[in-house]
Amino acid sequence: MKSFDIPEYYRSRIITPLKEFRRKRDKLKRDFSPTLLDFGPVRVLLARHFGFCYGVENAVEIAYKAIAENPGKRIFLLSEMIHNPDVNGDLQSRGVRFLMDTKGRQLIPFSDLNPNDVVIIPAFGTTLETQQQLAALGLDVVKYDTTCPFVEKVWNKAGQIGQKNYSVIVHGKPSHEETRATFSHSKETAPTVVVKDMAQTQRLAKYITHELPVEAFYEEFAGQYSVGFDPTRDLQRIGVVNQTTMLASDTQSIADYLKQVMIQHYDLTGDSVDAHFANTRDTLCYATNDNQDATYALLTSPADFAVVAGGYNSSNTSHIVDLCEAKLPTYFIESAQKIVSDTLILHFDHHTKQEITTENFIPAHRPVTILLTCGASCPDAVVEGILLKLAGFFPDSKSVDDVLETIMQ
């Protein structure tokens, strides 16, 4: 497994060794059970998989390498490196400036750039149109391109089925950087349309079966289809790919649903299904799958509440929050600073996009059991801070060293 050179302050003296301990004992990743940190009056169940993934560590390494290799030069990030405020804030403190926000709105005009500037492409990738604009200005868009290889895998899959004359259905959030990039790459080889959820997929099916008029499609899916898309022609042969951070079960449900629509509409059997529906399989990244599977395993343990750490605009983190919320009280926080005291926590409701306050979130009984995990763009150091903050509310707790010694003996 490749080791990345990332700043030590993103690692943790507690979390990082625990993750490595579990990895060595389960190299084939068959054990998704959580790690129990028993402090006595408080018990913390830590998910088996969470935190920086391959793509994020690769992106962070390249970004700091760009800073080290270009003293005195202006350095720009196309948009947020990853959806984590700690990482983006640290890069900004080192002089890195963002050219666009996460919605693609321009913050600094490309016309202000010159060929001597350094531009970093974030882990989500970017659109072909943006790449061409930057290249036309004489900027190197390859040297510090941190696009996650699993995102590129989706682009390749879309290209492959496009070459076989299938149209591409992208399951993703239409405004998300990764989905915008995937859409841009996919439409180069295939008619492409984005669906954000099952409800929108069910609407799309009505255009496959001709239950809705073609004209309505263009209004209903405005901004989500490629130029020249013709529902009558381009929904006869389809394949599904996704934004890599979507909920796996949602993408599978969408693919299964569309497959059944095609089977019923065209009266397909056996191998004839391939004539109208491409076998793309799941295009979620391994980290998204592992983190979601680890969350399902985490939720089999009885607990009082869950804490999920990550950037509030992180797609993969929000899906972990959704899984936890379905089972027990869940607090979505950026860092330990949001835990104001043992009676007050500030946390994010990603449905309303607002930070809210909850009082008396720690129950009075003992022991208290807490589930703890985070998204793929959250540093181990952030999880450590949350763990220590929570354990610190119980003065008669065992020491961290004693708890770690019990686990890793």
Distance CA 188, CA 190 (A): 6
Output the CA–CA distances (angstroms, integers) from residue 64 to 5, 326, 367, 379, 408, in the order listed: 9, 38, 43, 15, 33
> Does residue 267 come out as left (phi exceeding 0), alpha (psi in the -120 to 50 range) or beta?
left
> Could you give the residue numbers annotated as active site?
178
Residue 15 CB neighbours (<10 A): 24
The answer to whether the CB of 378 falls within 8 A of the CB of 16 is: no
- The CA-to-CA distance between both ends of the chain, in Å, stands at 24
Residue 227: is it exposed, middle or buried by C-beta count within 10 angstroms (0-12/13-18/19+)? exposed
The length of the chain, given as a count of residues: 409
Give every CB contact of residue 223 below 8 A, 6+ residues apart in sequence: 174
Strands 339-341 and 35-38, bridge-based pairing: unpaired
